[in-house]
Amino acid sequence: MSSESPFPKPPGSEGSPSKRASSLRPLAPPPGGSPGPLNPSPALFTTPPSPQPDAQPSPFSSDPAFVPRGGEQETLRREDPRSISPSSPEGNNEEEEKGPSLAEKAGRLFKGTMEGIGNHVWNNRFTVSVRVHVADAWLDMRERNLEGAQIRSQKAKEKEDLYAEQAQLIREQSAGLSGTGLNVNDYVGDIASSIDKKMKFKEERKIANLDTAKKHRELLKEKEKRNAVAEKMGAFYTSGAEKIDTAISDFEVRSGKKRFDYELVHAKDKVDELQRRLGDLESKTTDFAKKHGGVEVKGLVRMKKDLERQVERATKLRDELQARTSRIEDRTITMKNKREEILLKKEQLNRADGRQRFNVTERTGRGGDRSERRRTSTESFGSDNETKYGLGDFVAAWNQGYSSAGILHINEDDFYSSTYGKYTSVSPKKFAFLFDSYLHGLKGVRKDTDDPEYLSEVGWRDLHRNAEIGVKKFIEQKRIGRR
Amino acid sequence: MNTQNPQTDLPQDDIKAEIDALDAEIKSIVEELDQVEKSSSDMLDKLESDLTETEKEVADIEADIEAEEAVANQELENIIEDSIKDVVDLEAELETDADLDSE
């Protein structure tokens, strides 16, 4: 009997039975199968991360002198001769056939990442947010690689289905020939060997899939870690800003800065007045001297000199008061700016984090515009889920409370933030904070009154109570919508 | 008899009284000036001293934040390092898989 297969030989299948077996083609295309290569494109690993929506051109992207942290990988890419001779006639070794090396890919990705986050690198102070970005980029790349692995896994499954189909076909064909007297054993043996091989591949693939799943879990863990770091740092920024805010408020309350401000203005006014009176007096003495025959009048010379000295002293005192007050003001602003800087860092971190912590969806939709977000970010004192009050509301409530005591009214200009402008919208908690700080800051401001009762602590408490009642009443009215 | 001033013909006592009045006014102004100088200087001293104390508090808070930033940066650095290592491992593994696919 002939050992030749009874089946027609496919083109190129001449040779050993094993060669024929390996060249067996599918009878039908796999369902949903793609004829494309199973290997993912190298571009999958070299695509730079998507640019940030509001990214500015990186100042470093075109700066040849800039070598980012880890930039040695980029240097490696430039210097590696493999990267410039993959298609050279001599370059027929295995490394060259595989295309760019891993280090090259990592270098390219790192460069792309650094350029993509260039707008955040502009200020080295924001290193945490930059690192959050970089961590994100690496985690994203891992995710893409895992997606590649999943695609391969899917294709492998399609292959397995195909093998099963082929095996079934061979079995049917063998069964059909069993009565013909033809010897199909060799051919069937080859097929069986091929199927064994494929089944082994299937087992290996299963293990690989398990590894992929494990890596997915690890990736999730790493993302959680990174998020936890960003979250923790964000909370720390918030608490730091709050602490600074409290320290500044304490300072203003403890030292009675508001009262001092008032008294200093009063003192400067007083000095001005004295200076004016001294000037008048000087004119008087001059007139007197002229009238009475000049400086020969006894005591007039001394008086004139004394007057001149006092005028000079009053001028100097006023300038000194002005200078010292300005310096104190500058120092206070510097402290307030530090708080704003911390809030800015937090904002930067939030962007790097990719999560909107700004609860402005009710009013402005997703994210809100930049100015809205900035304004809301200053309101870290209050609960973001509650109704916001306008500054006008606050002023109205204050005045309502105080008008019952018939004394002090305020205006919006007292609440001025150098960075954000006026607080145009505040949460109830911030509302209460403003109220308290303003109230305490003003404590004693009515010192110019003649009423001793007013100046007493008890009297002040009464005023406080009146204002507080007014504010509470206002909030209540606002809540039930009667206002 | 009153002594007459040779140049003004005014009684000397009247001149003296007028000068004394001017002198008294100068003294009163000087006293007020002294008072303003002292009170404003005391106020500013206290304000400056409180401010210095507050600045120290703010500096401590800033130092805390910086320390925390350093820790956070180190943690993120570790995550980045781990990720780089994993990417390299995964890529090597995928290359092995590709070899397997080609069989």
Tens of pLDDT along A176-231? 655 555 555 556 666 667 767 777 777 776 777 777 777 777 777 888 888 888 88
Residue with tokens 């104190």: A328
* Domain match, A216 and A298 both: no
* Domain match, A405 and A479 both: yes
Residue A378 domain flag: yes
∠ CA A428-A430-A432, rounded to 5°: 70
Q: Complex ipTM above 0.85? A: no
Q: Do B51 and A127 touch (CB under 8 A)?
A: no
Q: Do A274 and B33 touch (CB under 8 A)?
A: yes
Tally the domains of chain A. Answer: 3
Please give the pLDDT value at position A388. Answer: 52
Cα torsion at A338, A344, A349, A352 (round to 10°)? -150
Please give the pLDDT value at position A176. Answer: 61
Which residue, A237, A268, A300, sits at the end of a domain? A237
Q: How far is CA A25 from CA A62, A96, A163, A478, B56, in A?
A: 52, 31, 10, 78, 80
Nearest to A134 among B15, B54, B80 (CB): B80
Residue A428 domain flag: yes
Nearest residue to A154 via CA among A208, A193, A216: A208
- Averaged pLDDT for residues A441-465: 45
* Domain match, A320 and A411 both: no
Which residue, A203, A237, A271, sits at the end of a domain? A237
* Domain match, A318 and A360 both: no
Q: Do B61 and A247 touch (CB under 8 A)?
A: yes
Please give the pLDDT value at position B57. Answer: 92
Residue A84 domain flag: yes
Q: Do B51 and A251 touch (CB under 8 A)?
A: yes
* Domain match, A184 and A106 both: yes
Residue A339 domain flag: no
Domain ranges of chain B: 10-77
* Domain match, A185 and A71 both: yes
Residue A367 domain boundaries:
356-483
Q: Do A335 and B55 touch (CB under 8 A)?
A: yes
Mean of all residue pLDDT scores within chain A: 59
Percentage of chain A exceeding pLDDT 90: 0
Question: Which long-range contacts (C-beta less than 8 Å, at least 24 apart) are formed by A189-192?
Answer: A189/A17, A190/A17, A190/A18, A190/A20, A190/A21, A191/A21, A191/A24, A191/A166, A191/A167
Q: Do A335 and B77 touch (CB under 8 A)?
A: no
Residue A22 domain flag: yes
Task: Check pLDDT > 80 for residue A235.
Answer: yes
Q: Do B61 and A271 touch (CB under 8 A)?
A: no
* Domain match, A169 and A278 both: no
Question: What distance in Å separates the CA atoms of residue A419 and residue A406, rounded to the nearest whole number?
Answer: 34
> Chain B residue closest to A260 (CA)?
B43
* Domain match, A224 and A94 both: yes
* Domain match, A327 and A405 both: no
Residue A144 domain flag: yes
Nearest residue to A82 via CA among A71, A91, A73: A91
Please give the pLDDT value at position A124. Answer: 44
Which residues of B fall within a CB distance of 8 Å from A131?
72-73, 76-77, 80
Which residues of A fall within a CB distance of 8 Å from B32?
270, 274
* Domain match, A166 and A55 both: yes
Task: Check pLDDT > 60 for residue A41.
Answer: no
* Domain match, A187 and A55 both: yes
How many pairs of residues across A and B have Cβ atoms under 8 Å apart? 208
Task: Check pLDDT > 50 for residue A448.
Answer: no
Residue A350 domain flag: no
Which residue, A331, A364, A379, sits at the end of a domain? A331
pTM: 0.45
Which of A237-251, A397-411, B86-100 has the weakest average pLDDT?
Answer: A397-411
Please give the pLDDT value at position A327. Answer: 87
> Chain B residue closest to A140 (CA)?
B83
A64 Cα to chain B: minimum distance (Å): 24
